[in-house]
Structure 1
């Protein structure tokens, strides 16, 4: 499923990043929709996602290295890295 989007186009890179996060981390659809670029942080050298969960609970989830690479690659290509 993660290999289905075409990596040669920008939308394919975006979709690969979008699919990898909920599939590899078990996020709810609403949690994925609420994610912003600023929610990806390094904590003690490990990439983490700040997740706004059910019941307005905040949690930090270590980011799978493959997902982190896909997200960073897409953000650099799309010009959103410094947002």
Structure 2
């Protein structure tokens, strides 16, 4: 009977360790998701720049806040829709 006490304590400790590991894994997954979202934002910014450079409108990159109507005049509609999707 005495041997059951320490064994139960070990089991409890193992369960607590497993729970801690699961929590750590969940936190890591959340961090990875946030990093992926940031990377996607950076990629979309790069795509905008690439589209403008490929159409020889580099100065749009420096101005930044141009309405979509103006963009459609200088960039084909397909390029604008691709950029807005990202």
TM-score (norm: length of structure 1): 0.41
Instruction: Report the structure number with the largest CA radius of gyration.
Output: 2
Higher helix share goes to which structure? 2
Higher strand share goes to which structure? 1
TM-score (norm: length of structure 2): 0.40
